[in-house]
Every structure is written in C-alpha cells, then in structure tokens.
Amino acid sequence: MTEIDTVVGSAWHDDDAWELLTRLTELDERMGGHPGERRAARFVAESFEDGGVSGIEVEEFEMNRWDRGRAEFAITDPVERSFGTLALPYSAAGEVAGELVDVGYGTPEEIEERDVAGKIAVASTTTPPEKGRFVHRMEKFGHAIAAGAEAFVFANHVPGQLPPTGALRFDAEAAAPGVGVSKETGAWLSDYASQGARAKLSVEASTERGTSQNVHGTLGEGSEEIVLLGHYDAHDIAEGALDNGCGIAVVAGAARILSEMELDCRVRVAGVGCEEVGLIGAAALADSLNPDSVRAVVNVDGAGRFRNLQAYTHGSQRIEELTRETCSEWGQPVSFSRDPHPYSDHWPFLQRGVPALQLHSQAPSGAERGRGWGHTHADTRDKVDPRNLREHAILTALLVRELTRSEIPRIDESELREQLRESDAEIGMRAAEVWPDHWE
C-alpha cells in the first residue's frame, strides 16, 4: 500500500467536515457582515488549525451590510389578499403599487414581449429547458428594471411554501424593491396577472458600511500556489447547510488530507466571507495576492451536496483533462460544465487570468434546474449525507495535489470574453452589472 493510499484510507474515518458543518448550522445566521458570520469565521479558523494548516490569518475587509426589516406583499384588485414574502438582499426600501405582470422565466425575450413599465414584474426562479445556461436572479432583476418595472417578485419553482432569497446586486443597494415568494404563491400571482390584477409591496431594509473577514493559511512551500477556497457565509433565513456549509466543510476536510500529502507547491486554504452578497471576500483575497504567483484557484461551491462530483472548468481544457484523469484513476464519476460564469468566488481570480476549477455536485436524475433547497428556509443539515462530505473532500484533495504537480496555461482575457459572449452570458452580466468595465 502506498503512502497516498494510507492517507486516503484514513480519511474515510474522518468526521471533521461533518463536525464543522454542524457547528456552522447551529448558528442563528451567517449573513455577510453580521455577528453570526464573524463567529462562523472563528469556527473555520479552528477547523483549519486542527487540520494542519499553518500561518492562519483572519483579515477584515469593508463591505455594505444589508439589514432585513419587514416585507409585505398583497393583491389589491380584483380581490384583497396578502401573501407571505421575503425581501431580497440589497432590495431598496420603499412601497410600490401597480399592475402585476407575469414575465415567465424572466428572460430578456419574455420581458421584451410584455409591457412592464411602471408595473410589478413576477419571474420564476428557474430557467427554460432550452436555454443553454442558467439565468441568474440578478440578470432577471436587471432586465426587468431596465425595461421600466417598478418592483420585482421572484417566485420559487420548488414546492413547499418556500419563498427564496438572494441578492439583487453585488455589494450595493438595488434600484428598486424586490421580494421572493413561494411556488404556491407564484401560481396565484400568475393567475391574477392574467386578469390584470393590481398589487402592492413594501420593504423595510437598510444598507450601511460594515466589515467581514477572510480566514486563510497555507500548506506546503514554494513561490507559486494553488488557492483552495470556499465561502462560509449564508443567507439569514436558513442554516445554509447545502449552500455553502457543505462547501467550506469539504475545504476543511480536504485541507486535513492535504496536510498529510507531499505537495509540489504551496496551497493557500481559505474560507471567504460575503459570497452571497457580492463575492466580496474572494475579491479582497484576490486583491491581496499576486495573480502571477497563483497557478490555479479551486472554488468549492456546491460540492458535498449530492453523491457525484460536478466540475466547472471555466474554459480551461487543461484543468478538465486533469480532473477527468484524476477521477478516473480513483474510480469516481464526474460530470463537466465548461462555460465560464461570474456568479461564484472563482470570478475575481478568473478575471485576472487565473485558471479556475469550481467543484459542485451533480443533481440527482430528474431534479429541476436551479438551487433546489438553497436560499430557502429548507436549506438544513438533515439534507446532507456525511458520506458525500468525506468523498468530495478526498477528491478535492487529490485534485489539488495533482494541480500542484502540473503546469496550467493562463486564461487569456480576450478568449474569456469571447467564451462568455458565445455562451450568451454577456447580456445577462450587463443587466446584473458584473460585466467588467474595462471590457467595454
């Protein structure tokens, strides 16, 4: 038996990832910039230290902290009827009354077909099957507001009376109020909209300057490094077990395994804050590092949720080859998504030319597109299987080890820009205001 076999074998008995997940989900909330997120950072630091990560630092950064107040939504004509709702982070405060318009999935084509000017637009959380990529919430909001909508309603496609949450902007107050409602409420709203119904919504919320923090340390040595990161923040309405308690738990588990391996370059292990409200922690970390010294970034956002691994390779053919070879060598299935996207913590690095691997989970066969339980009250620890955390921590460690031993071509900015255009991402990124200014 080789040394690597011994290390991997012992990882099957390791419950540290599950223990970290438990500590995180016991917190009342882990919203970016809030006290619960700060406590979560301490738990992550302790887990890293126990796992052999050295030189651990907790670095603060500034951000715009959003605080939730009361939100209300009601149909006012042809009936008077109230529905449960949640304000979406960075929603503007205020009250809006107007005609209700169902814009379906909220794609640009659907919004263009309907007159939303001065009205309240209702869009589904899911994406039409024929669409080649997932259309993000911020894109739908941006398209609706650009077309003149006065407010935005995000209707879940997952049953169970689960209004969804999710930021409308990255680290900045949105231009209009936005709320989430359940699938069941969405069905009523679609019916009322077909009758020309009128509605009103109100949001109480505030945005003010605050701070968050990143936790990071290193394994191994060398002038170059692989950055292994995951975000530990979550929305304030749920435990955040799947999104992204699983991810940061997998990072901690992988770090423990990597500490027992021989590495050919340094690995920076990081838990970053404020992903859910703008990738702010990842951007702060990327700003603090020399991008030329970072060989690749491994962003664990979504791993550990389901049985099989899914790899987003963001246009890097070499990373796809290494991932496929490593998983095949260890007899583990993996599916791939090649098109780049800007909606997770790899993005601040990818923009700087750093090749990126995002580790996610392949949804079970027959599952609808979208977040599932994520961003709802139902994102709880009971949905997590500890075996998935262990397996994905092992695979993450093996992949990072292979990346430390490999040369990986940098990402060419012009090629990245063209890939985003070819995958129909540019129009949505512009609507979400995340298309880089220097790409204009």
Quick one: fold of 70-208?
A: Glucose Oxidase; domain 1 (3.50.30)
> DSSP readout, 347-395?
HHHHTTT--EEEEEEPPPTTPPSS-TTTTSTT--GGG--HHHHHHHHHH
pLDDT exceeds 60 at position 218: yes
Helices 3-11 & 246-258 angle (0-180, nearest 10): 150
Q: Which residues contact 331 (CB under 8 A, 6 or more apart)?
A: none
Query: Residue 19, Cβ neighbours under 10 Å: how many?
Result: 17
Distance CA 165, CA 151 (A): 15
Q: What pLDDT, in 10s, does the model give residues 156-175? A: 999 999 999 999 999 999 99
Q: What is the model's pLDDT at position 133?
A: 82
When pLDDT is cut at 50, 70 and 90, the band that residue 367 belongs to is: low
Pair type for strands 334-337 and 309-312: parallel
pLDDT over threshold 90, residue 372: no
Helix axis angle for 386-404 and 246-258, nearest 10°, is: 50
Mean pLDDT of 119-139: 90
What pTM was estimated for this model as a whole?
Answer: 0.96
Distance of CA 256 to the CA centre of its chain: 24
**What is the predicted pLDDT for the residue at 225?**
97
pLDDT level of residue 368 (50, 70, 90 thresholds): low
Domains of the chain, residue spans: 3-63+210-409, 70-208
Nearest to 240 by CA among 17, 19, 20, 21: 21
Is 366 a residue whose pLDDT tops 90? no
Q: What is the pLDDT of residue 254?
A: 98
The region that residue 104 occupies, defined by phi over 0 for left and psi between -120 and 50 for alpha, beta otherwise, is left
**181, 165 in Cβ contact below 8 A?**
no
Predicted pLDDT at 339: 94
At residue 418, does pLDDT exceed 60? yes
Q: Which is more confidently placed, 78 or 14?
A: 78
Per-residue model confidence as pLDDT tens digits over 261-277: 999 999 999 999 999 99
Name the region of 228 (left: φ>0; alpha: ψ -120 to 50; beta: rest): beta
Q: How confident is the model at residue 200 (pLDDT cuts 50, 70, 90)?
A: very high
Residues 6+ apart with CB under 8 A from 200: 73, 74, 76, 95, 96, 97, 98
What CATH class has 3-63+210-409?
A: alpha beta
> For 31-64, what is each residue's pLDDT tens digit?
999 999 999 999 999 999 999 999 999 999 999 9
Q: 68: helix, coil or strand?
A: strand
